[in-house]
Amino acid sequence: MTKIVKVNMLDGGIAHMVIDDPDSKLNVLSQEFFAEFSAAMDALEARTDVKGLVISSGKEDCFFAGADVKEIRLLQTRPARDIYNACKAGRDAVNRISKLPYPTVAAVSGTCLGGGLELTLACKYRIAATHPKTSMGLPEVQLGFIPGWGGTIRLPRLIGLQEGFTLISTGNRVDAIKAWRLGLVDETAAPADLVKRAVAIASGAKPARFNKSFQQKAMEYGLATAAGRMLFQRQATNVVMSQTRGKYPAPLEALKVIMKTWGMPLDKAFEVECQAFAKLATSAVSKNLVGIFFADTESKKMPEGVAPAIKVKTVGVLGAGVMGAGIAQAAAYAGYRVVLKDIDQAALDKGLKNIKDLFDGLVSKRKMTRAEADMKIGAVKGTIDYADLADCDLVIEAVVEKMVVKKAVIADVEKAISKPFIFATNTSSLSVNEMAVAAKNPANVVGLHFFNPVHKMKLVEVVSAKTTSAETLAAAKAFGMKVGKTTVVTGDGPGFVVNRILSPYMKEAIQLLLEGVPAEQIDKAATRFGMPMGPIALMDEVGLDIVTHVIKVMHSALGARLAPPAIIDVIEKQKLLGKKGGKGLYLYDEKGKRTGLNPDVQAAINAPAKTMSESALQDRLFLPMVNEAAHCLAEGIIDEPSQLDLAMIFGTGFAPFLGGVLGYADSLGIRTVHQKLEHLSKVAGDNYKPAQLIKDKAQRGEAFYK
């Protein structure tokens, strides 16, 4: 029988509870854990010789990763009363610690999140190891609900209203030192001394608490008054609404619970929290966010029985432009040796400076030390000579988007490297199959499509050509994950997944502009739908040169339904680049601030000004994305709806609260989607002609998700 919870008696009457799931790398708050924890608490409560309790983990890098989300997902399929009862049972179990008649100390090392942190809050004292993986937080809002085991009650009362609400409403994590300065933990200790120091505190030693400044104490006191709380609630509500646009109810609900329960007896306060938790956890938003969590988890799984044939130690990057430098920096940050090559010394120097600037930014944000940054910068070698790539195990090209150039660099790299290596292309739209055919070893050619800016965008599309071996695909996926990205595996097809589905969205935005709909109205409809920015602004941000290239590639590959709008000619003749050139569909000042629609674009619009309802605009913009997503599934570009939605969420910011493009379609109902597309295909063009998969699902009454 699995033994997750063990209790040993130490000298001086101190009980030491060690939590360590032998069947997992992580400790999670599962039903199995609670069964053993309850038995251990029964035994402790029955003893009269215990003078103190220390709770620690047998895993140095994980105290608790939080609740078992699999169990939460299962509960989400049941009535709200079931999830309320589960919440109450977990809270009551954790609260048994707070009722023990002696000092209780949580000794935290590694990850301590969600219900794991709430367990420590039930202890009288907390001590954290200065381990690099120590990370404490309440990330529940990221899954669409709030802490349910006392977190919204205890944390603000412990560290202050403002700091407590900020941690809860953002889901942010803090390391051991930040936790100590906040007052979340009473002391920090070296990992080797953690339990020893916890035992001392349980035996009566005073912890070395951080002494907050007079200003901090005054601020906390002021906010705790009735007037201070009223002011804080107004300001916090405004901040939450500006950040979430009202689409994510959990942060606002957390604020309501905190304010309502401030000063309330704990038992009553816990009841308010539990009811709010159950309401949120059974909402459509939470179900969608939990689904995304599982899709992200699934994307991290390596294929079974397949191991990378080539171990990647040294990475070559061709092209020192914005993308190439970004990829090189990410690889260096992840610990690889990097060779950055360009054909021009000035371009190379600029790329190396960009890499240094990115590392300098990490130092200024205290995410790494100066010495660590200098070591990473030193791992990047700049060159204009192919011979310097000789030791590379993986070469990623980020050169100009022309097939003839891509094929030429493959040949040049093959001359420079005599050993087996992987060649990866960062192309956003060209055929990986065609590139692979040009290589001596097509099995070792793969796509690694990063998104700009590399250091901010979380997604990498790992593109499998027809000839790509399973081992090469595994190595490419492993590399993507090691550089900190979410990887989604796709087949080779025009635009892969993200650009393929984004193309009709951008095309229809331009078409609406040409029909006389104001650019601001188009963008507003998209942001109110849930997108981080509107499509007109997005095209300028990406670069109109790139947008026009992608649209032309899509037209060439997919036919008339993606024919470029007439204004593309104006964009090319006027050499409009978008925000980076100061002129795009909008105009920009020297600081990059938007000043209005470009007169050259306005002059190309022959239609009179036209106003459409927000819902009509959203149908015109987003239903083509649903349609194209269905084409991608039908063509086998990607197999799993959840992975397609993951790609669109991390690659474009598509509204997570809706569950992604296909999640959105399911919420509308496929029959409704089919009817709307049929209507729009008659009044707005072939781009809306329903994909056969949508027709079939509508006829059968099916959804994209089972």
Name the residues annotated as catalytic. Answer: 449
Residue 538 to residues 308, 493, 547, 586, 671, Cα–Cα distance (Å)? 37, 23, 10, 11, 30
* Cβ atoms of 359 and 377 closer than 8 Å: yes
HSE-up of residue 398 (Cα within 13 Å, Cβ side):
25
H helices of 282-344, in order, are 284-299, 322-333
7 DSSP β-pair partners? 17
CA distance 555 to 559: 5
- Cis upstream peptide for 308 (omega within 30°): no
**Alpha-carbon dihedral 630, 635, 638, 642, rounded to 10 degrees:** 30
CA gap 253, 279 in Å, rounded: 10
Q: Which two tokens stand for residue 260?
A: 């309502």
Q: For 158-189, what is the HEC assignment?
A: HHCHHHHHHHHHHCCEECHHHHHHHCCCCEEE
Q: 379-401: b or e for each residue (b if 16 or more CB lie within 10 Å)?
A: bbbbbeebebbeebbbbbbbbeb
Residue pair 478/471 in contact (Cβ under 8 Å)? The answer is no
Report the C-alpha gap between 360 and 42 in whole angstroms: 53
Residue type, 438: A
Tokens 């050993």 label which residue?
419
- Residues 441, 390: Cα–Cα separation, whole Å: 16
Residue 609 CB neighbour total at 10 angstroms: 10
CA angle in degrees (0–180, nearest 5) for 221-227-233: 95
CA dist 649 and 640 (Å) reads 14
| C-alpha atoms less than 13 angstroms from C-alpha of 69 in its C-beta half-sphere | 23
